[in-house]
Amino acid sequence: MPRVSVIMPVRDAAPFLGRSVGSVLAQTLDDLELILIDDGSTDDSPALCDAWAARDSRVRVLHQENRGPGPARNAGLAAAAGEYIGFADSDDYALPELYATLYAAAERDGLAAVKCGAFILPAASFAPPGPASENEALRRWPALQTSQYRYAEQDIAGPDILRYLSSNLLDNSLWTLLLRADVCRDLSFPARPRMEDSYFYMDLASRLDRLRLLSPRLYLYLTRAGGISQSAGAALLLERAAHEAALFARAADFGQQAAMTDAFNRLARTLTQYGERGGPATEADLRQYLDLISFFQKNASFFRPGHPAHSAADPFDVKFFLQRQADGTQAVLDFSTAERVRG
């Protein structure tokens, strides 16, 4: 049994696949398996996946019709044999210590879930070879000092995941998350084109006793124009609105009033933006939009005109990309107080 199973959906990723796969197989924790799920690719990705499997016995390949990233990850979860489960994207780069760091923390303290930080870098700026450490990444791309996911090291209770998601203080990406395999039993990703990772985190809120956050940044998320997560427009706004309604409902299950207020007021702003973009374009969109309006009317007591979500400074898109402070210090999010502290 490998210590870690890394699940990587692959969809038309031929130009980047070697970089991403290579970074996982070069981990200092080499007792791992990499499961590549070819999600109906139409380029050379299927052949490249098979070539990696022929080259390295730690690589397994699953081929399936195109069903989206959620179902692809579900196939990977069903096939995974590791003690722990990790996730990677087929166009990013994992720093060599990523899984060794996460696994060591989990094993040392008997943790079911561990997560570290990451860097965000335009793919066009990346040039091989990839960085061997966090410090090397900062030396090669100084701008990463002002655009990053960085945590103060701490534990947060499972249900509090909802509160941090609703206030955009917790990164809902999967790339830097390590889960003990039993936590994933009977869990699945929804078949959504976007934000399926956030719904997965909502499910984790009821599965985890605690989530350990680590301060090292050990993953390069490489942004590309036209990527799924970079898409914009009315369709994305409608998906966001549905996500906020779902987050509100999950927070209600735990009686988390602050999370409910945050989620509801982001829903209010997103519905407004959706209307400004032209509103429903199809009958299916119209049905979903009307359901959301009904949901809004039912829970209108949570509307707060002065809530930060209604201002231009709303961090929904910014999330927690932290900017260097005027005095030169770096802001760090401390989730124990949900405030910014100096680091």
How do residues 168-177 score in pLDDT, each as one tens digit? Answer: 788 889 999 9
Which has the minimum average pLDDT: 50-54, 145-149, 276-280, 331-335? Answer: 331-335
Beta carbons of 96 and 27 less than 8 angstroms apart: yes
Length of the chain: 343
Q: Which of 77, 93, 76, 81 is nearest to 32 (CA)?
A: 81
Furthest CA-CA distance within the chain: 59
The Cα-based distances of 37 to 13, 44, 60, 142, 187 in angstroms read 11, 14, 9, 34, 18
Per-residue burial over 238-273, b = 16 or more CB atoms within 10 Å of its CB, e = otherwise: bbbbbbbbbbbebbbebebeebbbbbbbbbbbbbee
For residues 144 and 54, which has the higher predicted lDDT (pLDDT)? 54
> What local confidence, expressed as pLDDT, does residue 149 receive?
81
For residues 254 and 170, which has the higher predicted lDDT (pLDDT)? 254
Residue 341 pLDDT greater than 50, yes or no: no
> What local confidence, expressed as pLDDT, does residue 235 receive?
87
Summarised one tens digit per residue, pLDDT across range 107-150 is: 999 999 999 999 999 999 999 999 999 999 999 998 887 666 88
For residues 158 and 149, which has the higher predicted lDDT (pLDDT)? 158
pTM score, whole prediction? 0.88
In angstroms, the CA 24 to CA 208 distance is 26
Which has the minimum average pLDDT: 48-57, 60-69, 109-118, 316-325? Answer: 316-325
> What local confidence, expressed as pLDDT, does residue 168 receive?
78
Question: What's the whole-number mean pLDDT along residues 95-118?
Answer: 97
Locate 105 and state its tokens.
């923390």
> What local confidence, expressed as pLDDT, does residue 70 receive?
95
Domains of the chain, by residue range, sit at: 4-227, 234-310
Residue 63 pLDDT greater than 90, yes or no: yes
Give the architecture (CATH level 2) of 4-227.
Alpha-Beta Complex (3.90)
Where does residue 241 fall: left (phi above 0), alpha (psi -120 to 50 degrees), or beta otherwise?
alpha
Question: What's the whole-number mean pLDDT along residues 179-196?
Answer: 91
Residue 32 pLDDT greater than 90, yes or no: yes
> What local confidence, expressed as pLDDT, does residue 276 receive?
86
